[in-house]
Amino acid sequence: MKEVDVYTRQLKEGTLSRRQFSKLIAGLGLGAAAAGSILSSAYAQTPKKGGQLRMVFHNASQQETFDPIKRFSRLMAHRDRAAYNCLTDFTPDLKVIPALAESWESNDTADEWTFHLRKGVEFHNGKSLHAKDVVYSINRIYNKEEARGGTVFVEHVTDITAVDQHTVRFKLNTPDVDLPTVLALLWFAIIPEGNTDEGVGTGAFKLKEFEPAVSATMVRNENYWKSGYPHVDEVVSFSIPDPIARLNALIAGEAEVIAQMTPTLIDKINSTNGVELLSTPSGYRTAGVMRVDVAPFNEPDVREAMKLLIDRETYNKIVYKGQSLVGNDHPIAPIYPEHCADLPAREYDPEKAIGLLKKHGLDKHAFELFASEVGIGAIEGAQVWTQMASKAGVNFKTTKVPSDGFWDAIWRVKPFIMSQWNMRPTANSQLAIAFKSGASWNDTFWGNERFDSLLLASKGEKDEALRKEMYCDMQQILRDDGGQVIMSFVSILSAARSEVKNVVTNPVSALEWVAENAWLDS
């Protein structure tokens, strides 16, 4: 009966008491036994309120902040998702859903979008949400000296207007069918107009204490606009760089959820009572990154040689132990509908690789590859790649570096590294953030005019067949010429104690939504 479903949902959300629920069920004419069974089933799944959720991540930085336009790590993404909301959100299967915007629509050419805001929403400081807050928040991303990474997604937005208190209009100079999905990214989190206090959003948790590179403590927002959420009273997040130490903290009961487990720890997790493996299929990648603006990787032959030095099937079996799919040197994983499965797979060809290097007098060159625990399987992957290169007579030197400070001292600094990339919610955003010419997160410093033109045209193409063709062309260009060696698409591995329930993971950034949804059965 539909009424039973409604009453059960209200009970779970906490808007009905047990007594009220029982009376309403009885009023439907159901017998006592049936009513008791429904009540027991409902309570078996009803989240318990209270408790502290401790979440441990893999890297920390003195550059950490609660300013969403400056986000650069998974730890910061978890905190920002807990403190803020965007206009939209997306589900684990990447469908865009309402958040601070209840609805939206575009004109026929998708170059003008109107968003209708939810009423009755308050920021943590008590201020009511206004369309002017949206205009202020999105416009901050254009400050390229402050923003880290998000500007590339809205460069085509020419005007954002507060039509009235609850209506915002975006005007674009090019069509964009993906704009509602892009606006779910945390760079576009909404803060109060003119706000300078960190952590003030509309999200499920309010910031209590924060020390960069140490920890953050957040407490439940009692005025959260989502009825029944969050479930825990407090969320504490901090970093333990070593994955074994993270797992030991979980087993010892010093944490409830831990991020970034390595495949080498799968057996230990599965054989330990009281902890559970969380495996989230994704477009996540730990890739080899070559800076094409510096020698020797400015030579396309050298980039191709690096790509040929990996037996990818063997690499994935050794490094990821069944928790990955083979990559083909472009970032559009099979999880995306735009994935082009017809591109020829890159084969292991050490003879061709050494021949390409000899053309440039580099067959005896020592290639120094920097790797840290920042990327899932990065250390193991670098070692396996080094061994495969050695069989071809190519000299790799793997240098292990600390996770702390990786994003400041290694990424976009050293010419040859192992780095990690989270999945983005759309193929266009995945390509734009890492490969568009001049993008602030373009870690290979690669650029291609045809690629850029296809990237722009695909944003507004509504014909699915033509759109897919454009994406296949871009994947081919990156496969053949790009500076990332993408061997794998990796399931994101995390772990949690068994008493943590409703751990909602997402292929874009596995643990971002856990704080709001999880509850403790203890």
Q: Provide the pLDDT confidence category of residue 5 given band limits of 50, 70 and 90.
A: low
Q: Which residues pair with 170 in a beta bridge?
A: 113, 160
Task: Say which residue, 429 or 39, is predicted with more confidence.
Answer: 429
pLDDT tens by residue, 186-216: 999 999 999 989 899 999 999 999 999 999 9
pLDDT given for residue 314 in this prediction = 97
Same domain? 310 vs 426: yes
Give residue 205's pLDDT. Answer: 98
Is 359 within a domain?
A: yes
pLDDT of residue 219: 98
Q: Across the chain, what does the average pLDDT equal?
A: 91
Residue 322 and residue 491 in contact, taking contact as beta carbons nearer than 8 Å = no
Domains in the chain, number = 4
> Is residue 395 in some structural domain?
yes
Residue 2 has pLDDT above 80, yes or no: no
pLDDT at 54 over 80: yes
More confident: 465 or 29:
465
- How many angstroms separate the most distant Cα atoms in the chain? 86
Whether residue 33 is predicted with pLDDT greater than 60 in this model: the reply is no
Are 295 and 274 part of one and the same domain?
no
Count other Cβ atoms within 10 Å, centred on residue 314.
Answer: 12
For residue 235, tell me if it sits in a domain: yes
Are residues 235 and 381 located together in one domain of the fold?
no
330, 441: one domain: yes
Give residue 228's domain range. 203-279+492-520
Residue 399 sits in a domain whose CATH number is 3.10.105.10
Identify the pLDDT of residue 13.
Answer: 43
Task: Pull the structure tokens for residue 440.
Answer: 């602030």
Within-domain flag for 108: yes
Same domain as 423, residue 293: yes
Average pLDDT over residues 393-421: 95
> Is the model more confident about 148 or about 511?
511
CA geometry: angle 150, 152, 156, nearest 5 deg: 120
| Mean pLDDT of all residues in 228-253 | 97
CATH number, position 213: 3.40.190.10
Whether 404 is covered by a domain: the verdict is: yes
Cross-strand pairs, 161? 169
- Spatial CA neighbour of 79 closest among 515, 519, 492: 515
461 and 472 housed in the same domain:
yes
**Residue 143: pLDDT over 70:** yes
Between 91 and 272, the more confident residue is 272
- Inter-residue contact 247 to 45 (CB < 8 Å): no
Percent of the chain with pLDDT over 70: 92
The CATH number of whichever domain residue 126 belongs to comes to 3.90.76.10
Same domain, 434 and 292: yes
Q: Say what the pLDDT of residue 15 is.
A: 44
Question: Are residue 19 and residue 33 in the same domain, yes or no?
Answer: yes
User: Per-residue pLDDT averaged across 63-80, rounded?
Assistant: 91
DSSP 3-state of 222:
coil
What share of the chain in percent tops pLDDT 90?
A: 79
Strand partners, 416: 290
> For residue 69, is it within any domain?
no
**Residue 194, C-beta contacts closer than 8 angstroms, at least 6 positions apart:** 136
Sequence-distant (6+) residues with CB within 8 A of 401 are 370, 371, 372, 409, 410
Confidence band for 1, pLDDT divided at 50, 70 and 90: very low
Query: Which one has a higher pLDDT value, 5 or 186?
Result: 186
Question: With bands split at pLDDT 50, 70 and 90, how would you rate the model's confidence at 94?
Answer: confident
The burial of 431, by beta-carbon neighbours within 10 Å (0-12 exposed, 13-18 middle, 19 or more buried), is given as buried
With bands split at pLDDT 50, 70 and 90, how would you rate the model's confidence at 14?
A: very low
Least confident range of 140-144, 274-278, 298-302: 140-144
Q: Which of 188, 222, 253 is at the close of a domain?
A: 188
Query: Based on the domain organization, do 452 and 393 belong to the same domain?
Result: yes
pLDDT of residue 44: 53
Q: What is the pLDDT of residue 468?
A: 96
292/419 same-domain check: yes
Distance of alpha carbon 248 from alpha carbon 267, whole angstroms? 14
Q: Which of 42-46, 82-86, 260-264 is the most confident on average?
A: 82-86
| SS3 call for 342 | coil
